[in-house]
A = this chain, B = another copy of it.
Amino acid sequence: MKRFERTAVTLNDAFDCFAGQHLPAGAPATLVQQLRALASMHTVPRRQMTTLDVTRDHLVFVAHGPTKLVAFDPAGEGQIVAFQFCGDCLTLPREGLYTYRLVAIRAASLLVFEAEALRALERRAPMLNEVLARCSLAALQRTRANLVAMGRRSATERVASFLLSMREIEQVAQADGRTLTLEMTRKEIADCLGLTVETVSRQFSKLRDLGLIATPSRTQVRLSDPVRLAAQAGAFAPAA
């Protein structure tokens, strides 16, 4: 439960965080050095998207700040594919049928590897295999889970489970452990959940009327009754 509070994360900090979470303990120092040399640091301001070479695949480690992976179709419509949080790894594929971009929900620090270079290193250091395989498998799992979730859930289920999963993730909760600060507008939440602003707003009102949440300010939400809230979230209550 280490949290990365600092806003200015250096490459080395981020890399250490990455190494600690994803590299096996017995990794030789030279390999770690080689990897570090491949990493580049990107700081993405709130609501901005990454500006990476879209003709190449990248592996991205989210060192700090929540991000979302958005797919843009040829018509320029964006659709959220997945969320990533501090500590997650993801593959950012090159431009294809869709153009994928990583968007920072709040200011984010990313450790970026060019996939081709990584593969080359991997050939020389097979130890990396499992690391990378685990990353893509995890990403696949997340995306599949997301797909299922996206399938046929009601607006209430979406909003309730969104709030609960935010609580899981955000350690920015207040002392009472129930109040969280969403640094997102209703519009952003709506996009995340595939709903409209109005529907999200109505769901907030409904949950407030039911006494399950309170909204002291525009950005703060207090989960007054997490248990009944989880009931509203339906089958997809976060595993806690």
> Footprint of B on A, CB under 8 Å?
57, 71, 73-75, 77, 79, 81-82, 91, 93, 96-98, 100, 119, 122-123, 126, 129-130, 132-133, 136-137, 139-141, 143-148, 150-152, 194, 235-236, 239
Contacts and interface: CB of A to CB of B under 8 A. Distances in A.
A129 B124 CA distance: 11
A147 B73 CA distance: 12
Contacts of A147: 71, 79, 81, 143, 146-147, 150
B239 A97 contact: yes
25 contacts: A71-B148, A73-B236, A79-B152, A81-B144, A81-B148, A82-B144, A97-B145, A98-B144, A98-B145, A119-B129, A119-B130, A122-B126, A122-B129, A126-B126, A126-B129, A133-B136, A139-B140, A140-B140, A140-B143, A143-B143, A147-B147, A147-B150, A150-B150, A150-B151, A152-B194
A141 B71 CA distance: 11
Nearest to A141: B93
A88 B144 CA distance: 17
Contacts of A236: 73
A239 B79 CA distance: 19
Nearest to A122: B129
A236 B77 CA distance: 11
B77 A144 contact: no
Given A73-B148, A91-B137, A150-B150, 17 more contacts: A57-B137, A71-B148, A73-B235, A77-B235, A79-B148, A79-B152, A93-B137, A93-B141, A97-B239, A100-B144, A123-B126, A129-B129, A136-B140, A140-B143, A143-B144, A147-B150, A151-B194
A189 to B, nearest CB: 16
Contacts of A119: 129-130, 133
Contact of A132 (B82, B133, B140, B146): B133
